[in-house]
Amino acid sequence: MIDHECFPVEPWQLRESSLGLAQLAQTESLFALSNGHIGLRGNLDEGEPHGIPGTYLGGLHEVRPLPYAEAGYGYPESGQSVVSITNGKLIRLLVDDEPLDVRYGDLRHHERVLDLRAGTLTRDLEWTSPAGKAVRVRTVRLVSFTHRSIAAISYEVEALADDTRIVLQSELVANEEQPPPSDDPRVSAALTNPLVAVSSDQDDAGAILLHRTKGTGLLIGAGMDHLFELPDSAVLEQDVRDDWARTTIAVTLQAGERLRVVKLLAYGWSGSRTEPAIRDQVSAALTSARAQGWDGLVQQQREALDAFWAGADVYLEGDPVLQQAVRFGLFHVLQSGARAERRAIAAKGLTGPGYDGHAFWDTEGFVLPVLTLTVPHAARDALLWRHSILDKARERAKVLGLQGAAFPWRTIAGDECSAYWPAGTAAFHVNADIAYAVERYRAATADEAFDRDIGIELLVETARLWRSLGHHDRHGTWHIDGVTGPDEYSALADDNVFTNLMAARNLRAAAAACMRHPHRAEDLGVDPEELEAWRDAAASVAIPYAEDLQVHSQAAGFTRYREFDTRGASFPLFLTVPYGLLYASQVCKQADLLLALHWCGESFTAEDKARNVDYYERRTVRDSSLSATTQAVMCAEVGHLELAHAYAHEAALIDLRDLQDNGANGLHMASLAGAWSALVEGFGGMRENDGRLSFDPALPSGITRLQFHLRWRGALLHTDITHERASFTADDGDLTLLLGGEEVLLPSGSTHTIALTPRTALLPPPPQPPGRAPAAPER
């Protein structure tokens, strides 16, 4: 667990007031900087000590074998893993020949601050060497939102007493030693020293190194340049080898004298471009950054974030812990996709090697709803990445004997990388999740060109998958059998409600897109018979319901399974309980039926929702980080506002408190995005209905005011909610909203206010499985 006593609760920054060596890996994730293209873990500048050193480029990966005890038809043969590439963060400091190492000497002060408005990581320390020489070091690090290929570090050293000999070594280092990625020696061999030197170049102030990945053959360029503020007596040297480059500065500082170096970093990679092209790209990026200078880069970073927060900020009164956490989450969600530009947004973003750097349905299900309504261009780019791997998805469908496209459960470059069918390929709902993200983007942006050129093709090919995967029984009901829904403790089920409803939505959306764009539909080979088949399947889809319990069965037969007693259990259950027992029990790893209530709410009555929440809350153990968000939203909707507040805290604090004890490998982007959903969709009651936004707000007792902003079809909506009323203001365009079921036209610049009445729950707050109740919100 993160020792949060050294992390004060502050609304616009994450500040670590003292250095915890035992938690370095976790804080490296928390302090990671990224723009979606470049990712720098929050390692100490001098590189050691460290938890997991990491520098990543979006989409760059290596292949590795997938081990199987028994082979099977359709199993993928190789996986993909993110690799840590050339590290440019390293700046080593020697004080009278002794290296600055926080484990030795006297660390008198150490503070790091992640500034969520400036987009910078600042580090201040005072250190006395074992020989008694004292220095103050201040570093500021950023990964630029405006210069996609650029990161920069300002490094300043001051001698505190006596004349002090200083040697500063600024480095690029490839093939850093990493923690073992796997117990399988074949996997370790593939990912150990994955970069092969290609060429190097240097000048008086920097260097460029080119490498290729061993297996995938991807070409990587990494370059550094420097801007100096040095005493005249300083001596500079350059040295370049295959796997490292070093700029060395040697100088004697008098007491109170300082030196400052601004280190500029540039990265690029390609699977098709030539060595000169990549080298020149990196060189050009460095030249552009040098022209901007440090002050220019910092100013542009602040301006980019000012624009982001103007349309994305969430403001709370009454809960400062959640206030800090939701802004922290929004900042990292922005970092995950701002400049990803048609590369996958991984489940961990670019904050660590967790999940091998793979993207899952988390992206479309949890991250894109936030980006669509705050940074729509980033959501568009993420969907363009899905479109770019469409041919691979078509080939995968053919292998599986299906039509259309079967998108991978987990991947970096489009190939299926899941080695376990029940919790991988069988989770076909990823296809409907992508289609749902396409529809939400279209509704929020009215992007006609995207709908015509990209969206319709994604909708058609995913619809074709469902038509071939499902079937009609002799009574005319349409079924989808042998699939895994969001709950991975209920695998290979028949008629999973979430999957069936999402597939039906996908089919209807594809048919509607073809009606909007008949010429494109013709180009894609869609004929009237196929359209009618889609509509018929959607209209007759099976939705299991347990009449005796008056709840929906998560999948056919689920409510007759044995109950699972969690008393005395260790969590997560999959580490201590055989999957065979989990699959045959009424125990849910994560919200599944509740997610159907959330995303397909129009298919359920208010009474349905209340009874289903009551039933499944008692059976959901939240062994997945994806669960708390959905439970927060649905508990809020049915009136369990205090329980929803606790779930919102869990989603928001998953990494700040390391609640699942795995934050060392990177942050949980879906849960961080889900904190926004818990507030905006849960307490704000926001839903999208037929291309319009609707709101039904209600606040828990611990939040006295909630304000949030979002973008809808070019306009900016500001909300202001208290327990008594809710106000909605339109900027930059007119908006039509549904407020309390009433259609309201909101001209640009106007405000509409509605009175709120306390929300009444139909049923008492339900208990959770023993040992799995969410913690009360922190105060």
Q: Which residues are catalytic?
A: 488
Residue 187 one-letter amino acid: V
Strand, helix or coil for residue 743 = strand
- What's the distance, CA 560 to chain centroid? 36
* Helix, strand, coil share of the chain (percent; to 5): 35, 25, 40
What are the residues whose beta carbons fall under 8 Å from the beta carbon of 10, sequence distance 6 or more?
324
Q: What dihedral angle (degrees, nearest 10) is formed by the CA atoms of 292, 297, 303, 307?
A: 110
- Looking only at the bridges linking them, the beta strands covering 562-563 and 585-586 are parallel
Which residue matches tokens 């007792």?
A: 701
- How many whole angstroms separate alpha carbon 136 and alpha carbon 108? 10
Cβ-based neighbour number of residue 549 at 10 Å: 12
Asked if residue 86 lies in contact with residue 69, where contact means CB atoms within 8 angstroms, the answer is no
Three state DSSP letters for 327-383: HHHHHHHHHHHCCCCCCCCCCCCCCCCHHHHCECCHHHHHHHHHHHHHCHHHHHHHH
Residue 245 one-letter amino acid: A
Q: What dihedral angle (degrees, nearest 10) is formed by the CA atoms of 495, 497, 502, 507?
A: 40
- How many whole angstroms separate alpha carbon 206 and alpha carbon 46? 18
- How many whole angstroms separate alpha carbon 263 and alpha carbon 286? 10
What do you get for the CA distance between the two ends of the chain, in Å? 18
Residue 224 one-letter amino acid: M
What are the residues whose beta carbons fall under 8 Å from the beta carbon of 578, sequence distance 6 or more?
none
- How many whole angstroms separate alpha carbon 420 and alpha carbon 433? 20
Tokens found for residue 648: 């919102």
- How many whole angstroms separate alpha carbon 642 and alpha carbon 636? 8
What are the residues whose beta carbons fall under 8 Å from the beta carbon of 48, sequence distance 6 or more?
101
- How many whole angstroms separate alpha carbon 442 and alpha carbon 688? 12
Cβ neighbourhood burial of 388 (10 Å; 0-12, 13-18, 19+): middle
Residue 347 one-letter amino acid: A
Nearest to 338, CA basis, from 327, 328, 350, 326:
350
Q: What dihedral angle (degrees, nearest 10) is formed by the CA atoms of 426, 431, 433, 437?
A: 160
- How many whole angstroms separate alpha carbon 136 and alpha carbon 153? 16
What are the residues whose beta carbons fall under 8 Å from the beta carbon of 142, sequence distance 6 or more?
33, 119, 120, 121, 151, 152, 153, 297, 298, 301
Strand, helix or coil for residue 121 = strand
Nearest to 488, CA basis, from 622, 590, 630:
590
Longest dimension (CA), the chain: 91
Task: Give the total residue count for the chain.
Answer: 779
- How many whole angstroms separate alpha carbon 216 and alpha carbon 719? 48
Cβ neighbourhood burial of 741 (10 Å; 0-12, 13-18, 19+): exposed
- How many whole angstroms separate alpha carbon 396 and alpha carbon 204? 51
- How many whole angstroms separate alpha carbon 145 and alpha carbon 12? 18
What are the residues whose beta carbons fall under 8 Å from the beta carbon of 727, sequence distance 6 or more?
719, 720, 721, 751, 752, 753
- How many whole angstroms separate alpha carbon 593 and alpha carbon 364? 18
